[in-house]
Amino acid sequence: MKQLLALFVLLAAAFASCSSRASDHADPMLLPEDEQEANLTGLFFFPEGDRMIAILDVRRSLIGPPPYNFEPFEFNIQMDLHSPVTFGDLEDLARYGGTIAAPETISPDVTLKFRLNNDVTVKEQSFKGLKDPENIRVYVGIRDDPFIFPKFFKVNVVTMAISIPKSSFPDNQQNWLLWATSHRVANGEQIDHVGRSNRTQLGRFEFLNTIPPSQHVAAIKERAETRAKIQDFLKDAAPPLANLNQLSGFLIRHYDYVPDVMVYTNQRPAGFPNGRRLQDDVALLTCQQGDCPLQENSFIDSDQWPRATVNDKPLLAEFPYLAEPWPYKPQAPGPWGPYVVRYLSHPAVIAGLIVALLALIVGIVVLRRRRRAV
């Protein structure tokens, strides 16, 4: 009975966090098929001459032609220009690009806001917090997905590429913290978040998608306490399950207490984790620091050896830099459809499924005991 209870605890915990299994492409997993446009797939930031380039890609696995379903959503690229960042901690430097001294004070000084029409033209755009906005260049359109990952080769994304004069930022600006979000226009609800690549799509970080970076560390600490109790219970009740749980990616790790933002400084060479360039192989680079699901899946999803380490199409030398899109094909429907996913993602349904699972386990135990008694 004790072992079965332990199994239930593990299954319930895994189910509660399963919406982030599999850059930022794989989350949020429980996003209805007719709302895939709100999915953020990648954030990039790098210098190019006298300009800074910010790129936000959305709508994973796109192969079909317009029209899409962009009008219900708003997209924001946020930049914090005031939070102190230090570079003396070598572990933080290698994993996150620097150390953020006061994560609870992170807030945007710059907001690049976009709303798109369903034909991928710009409905609204604004550039809050930047000087000389008339000198900002924008490209919005369909391009090849630049993610170096076999599952997302030969598919497109919708990109918002912004070329910003360095003079639009405060004089002598050295450090940037960046993140991007998608929201529902109707009620402002935050749907997705991307900061540093390969964070929120990891199973243990799904809960960060709907809260601002200033709340990330506190939320991670809260989840760490709960999950540590589950792990302690499993170690006592079923050690093999404890070992499995440690490998599952469910546990919070000692280096996780960091907000999910991208760090960029012009005092160091550009390239992940100092910003992100289109050429950066983030699957490899994040695996070198302990998070390897992308690296492993890049081998699983392809027969190619050695694994691909560059994009599947040549990048452009000039703005907007992303490769030309792949030819359109009929967009394959998702396996679940919009209504099944929307139903299953409702909190009450999730709670009901967990209770049903517990009742099933208890029923099996009682039935077995009765048969033994006979």
Q: Output the CA torsion 269→274→277→283 (10° steps).
A: 120
Give the per-residue pLDDT at 336. 55
Pairing of strands 51-62, 40-48: antiparallel
In a domain, 363, yes or no: no
> Which position has the higher pLDDT, 11 or 141?
141
Residue 82 main-chain phi, psi, to 5 deg: -115, -25
Give the per-residue pLDDT at 372. 74
In a domain, 366, yes or no: no
Question: Any idea which of 101-110, 153-162, 228-237 has the lowest mean pLDDT?
Answer: 228-237
Give the per-residue pLDDT at 17. 47
Report residue 125 CA to chain centroid gap.
23
| Residue that the structure tokens 């691909």 belong to | 308
In a domain, 342, yes or no: no
Instruction: State the pTM of this model.
Output: 0.87
Range of the domain at 231: 2-334
In a domain, 349, yes or no: no
Question: Any idea which of 102-116, 214-228, 238-252, 327-341 has the lowest mean pLDDT?
Answer: 327-341
Digit-coded pLDDT (tens) for 317-361:
999 999 999 999 999 776 555 545 555 555 566 667 776 776 776
Average pLDDT over residues 204-229: 95
In a domain, 370, yes or no: no
In a domain, 341, yes or no: no
In a domain, 365, yes or no: no
In a domain, 259, yes or no: yes
Please give the tally of structural domains in the chain.
Answer: 1
pLDDT of 366 higher than 90: no
By CB atoms closer than 10 A (0-12, 13-18, 19+), residue 257 is middle
